[in-house]
Amino acid sequence: MDIEFAEQYGETLLDYAFDMLWQRETCGVNHAEFIFVRLSEHLKEYPELKHWFLAGVEKNLSETWRNLAIAPKRPIGFIPSELIEYIANVTKWAELEKLSLLELEKHKGDDIYLSGRNLPSSILEALKSDWEDIDMYPSLNNEHAASNK
């Protein structure tokens, strides 16, 4: 698979995740986890896609996404935050920490970033080995349990 096709496949996975998490009212991360797992495997299979994913994260940190629930399809560049957090936990990429810290610093004092739940803070939490949301993902719980034996 060439890199262009690998990137297109990654975009297709992001489309599926968007569809499940934003357009289907009955779906949550428990329904979309298989897509998260597949994207994390794809990123491992094609390490040259790291820059593609990081560029997407950077766009997600800098954009104000509005009206996602009524969007007929995934806006170009949008990655669901739950998927970003999942990939952060799996990959532990230092670049994700750097992007998140830069974004928090850039918006220091903004009301929206004063709340505890925002994407940069969530990414930083997901990078930790004791990420509290890990319980939502059986695939990570199994990995986590195996590594603690």
Say if CB 10 and CB 39 are below 8 A apart. Answer: yes
Tokens standing for residue 56: 């997407």
Tens of pLDDT, residues 120-136: 999 999 999 999 999 99
Specify the 3-state DSSP secondary structure of 144. helix
More confident residue, 14 or 149: 14
* Region for residue 76 given its phi and psi (left: phi exceeds 0; alpha: psi -120 to 50; beta: otherwise): beta
Cα–Cα dist 11/34, whole Å: 15
Task: Choose among 143, 129, 149: nearest CA to 37.
Answer: 143
Tens of pLDDT, residues 96-112: 999 999 988 887 766 66
End-to-end CA distance of the chain: 36
Cα–Cα dist 134/117, whole Å: 16
Confidence at 113, pLDDT banded by 50, 70, 90: low
Tokens standing for residue 86: 């999942």
Q: What DSSP character marks residue 75?
A: P
Task: Choose among 23, 7, 36: nearest CA to 138.
Answer: 36
Other residues' Cβ atoms within 10 Å of the Cβ of residue 66 = 9
Radius of gyration of the chain (CA): 15
Q: Where are the domains of the chain?
A: 3-147
Cα–Cα dist 3/69, whole Å: 31
pTM check: above 0.85 = yes
Tens of pLDDT, residues 18-73: 999 888 877 888 889 999 999 999 999 999 999 999 999 999 988 877 777 778 88
pLDDT at position 145, please?
Answer: 45
